[in-house]
Amino acid sequence: MWKSLALPSGFTVDFMNMFGDGRLQEENVERELLTIGTKAELGMSKIRLTGKAKGHLSKDGTPEPVYFMQMPYIKKDNPNTVESINKLQRYSKYLRDKIDAVIFLGIGGSYLGNKVLFDILAGDFWNTDAEKRHGYPRVYFSGNNLDAVQCIEQASEIKRLAATGSSKKEQFTVMLVPISKSGTTLEPMSAFTYFYNEFAGSKTIKVEVTVVTDLCVDIKESPLLQLAEQRAWQCFDIKEGIGGRFSVFTDPGLVTLSAIGGDIEAFLCGARELDEYCKNAVSAENPALLNALLKYLVGRQGCDIEVFMGYSSKFKALGEWYVQLLAESLGKRHDRDGKLVNYGRTPVVAVGSTDMHAQTQQHQDGRRNKIIQFLEIADTGLKLKLSNPFKGNSFFESYKGLELDKALKIALAANEEALASDGRYSARYVLPRLNEYYLGQLLYFLMLSIAYEGELANVDAYDQPGVEAYKKIMKSKMW
């Protein structure tokens, strides 16, 4: 069994600090790999082959397929086809040529994955840097909370931009993109209603709409789809058998890549090559299986919290996306045989080095119920070396020559070493660079890891009955 794996792409996973005195023992892990690990691989093979996961039902109690492992492959009858990718590329050109601002309106998986793509590939200053945008529109997110303040402030910003003549045409053109599988999701539909009403009657703002929803649903059941048909709005599909937390590799996520001119094919290629590697590797060299197994085993030792700690400010949204992936997929009351298990870990987002000044005290000295998952970029492509602008000041003279990127790596290594010295669990993922290809590899690796762990724990990683419980109560109180 390999404690550290380097994929041909250069993406590496390091599990060295999962092993040692008071931690996992290599011979025990090897034994589990041959038993429950083999069963997990058989379960995953069945899902790949048949599109069915043991006992998985939709929220209405009927059998539902599981197709997320088809997403990276562009082929007929898959979630992504040549035609669907071409449509996204045409849409990207239209947004670049005609649209001044896009507001994505989604929640859960229809928001979190999109925000990851935007934060990592566009960044904080996209909306204020016209040169960086290369003609692509400003991008905003709403509908991810029942937040009147957020809606009003975003509408005010759009009106301000329209009033300053920041448009490509005579009118400032806004594209509203409501994303909802059912076409009825409360938060995005509320925000969509508000923004459309605010902008539709404006003399300075032109509003257009792109709908992302289930195009195969009975139109009588989807008010959003009814509007799209009546008003000839462009539509993208939310495919059957792909839950929201897995959907970033399909239309609901790829529309955001379109809006920023991202390389869709490179993003899917990264996921595809990761999938091929894991599919063909022997068990002891399958990084997704090993990642799942080690976390499953430390869970049996009482580790019920996983801290996802990326060492870059760009990784905050990624951590939030992973929170949903882990919590909804593995947080289950019963296993697939109906046994009460209350399985899962509580996910926590942390950013290095920021949260070394906030959370690390608990990680290092608090209860021994945590695994810390580090994420690092090997080469950011940017170098920032400090000089001393305060001549004669000995304190700032010591900062002279300091490279911030190198200091960040030292901070991660110090955190990792301190945890290991106290027998605490941690692992590290390292991306060679940060681009569409490697982001595709990372996101898909995390999805596969969660799916493998569902097989190991014998829980349905694709339903979310706890979410449906609160929705029913909330609906009864509101309407």
Categorize the per-residue pLDDT at 191 as very low, low, confident or very high, splitting at 50, 70 and 90: very high
With a pLDDT cut of 70, the percent of the chain lying above it is 100
Q: How many C-beta atoms lie closer than 10 Å to residue 406's C-beta?
A: 12
In the numeric block, which tokens belong to residue 337?
A: 């045989």
Cβ contacts of residue 176 below 8 Å, gap of 6+?
A: 103, 105, 192, 195, 196, 199, 207, 208, 209, 210
Contact (CB, 8 A) for 429 and 376: yes
Q: Strand pairing partners for 13?
A: 5, 429
pLDDT score recorded for residue 1: 57
pLDDT at 472 over 70: yes
In the block, tokens 């955001």 appear at 256
What confidence tens digit (pLDDT) does each residue in 66-107 have?
A: 999 999 999 999 999 999 999 999 999 999 999 999 999 999
What confidence tens digit (pLDDT) does each residue in 277-335 have?
A: 999 999 999 999 999 999 999 999 999 999 999 999 999 999 999 999 999 999 999 99
DSSP 3-state of 177: strand
Strand positions, DSSP E, 366-424: 370-377
Q: How far apart are CA 192 and CA 183, in angstroms?
A: 11
Please give the residue that has the higher pLDDT: either 467 or 241: 241
pLDDT score recorded for residue 165: 79
What confidence tens digit (pLDDT) does each residue in 105-129 have?
A: 999 999 999 999 999 999 999 999 9
pLDDT at 478 over 80: no
Q: What is the mean pLDDT of the chain?
A: 95
What confidence tens digit (pLDDT) does each residue in 229-238 have?
A: 999 999 999 9
Categorize the per-residue pLDDT at 392 as very low, low, confident or very high, splitting at 50, 70 and 90: confident
What confidence tens digit (pLDDT) does each residue in 163-187 have?
A: 987 777 778 999 999 999 999 999 9
* Cα 306 to the center of its chain, rounded Å: 16
DSSP tag of 43: H
pLDDT at 59 over 90: no
Q: How far apart are CA 225 and CA 60, in angstroms?
A: 21
Average pLDDT over residues 192-197: 97
With a pLDDT cut of 90, the percent of the chain lying above it is 90
- List C-alpha distances in Å: 100 to 105, 159, 207, 379: 16, 12, 10, 33
Categorize the per-residue pLDDT at 140 as very low, low, confident or very high, splitting at 50, 70 and 90: very high
Which pTM does this prediction carry?
0.96
What confidence tens digit (pLDDT) does each residue in 199-222 have?
A: 998 989 999 999 999 999 889 989
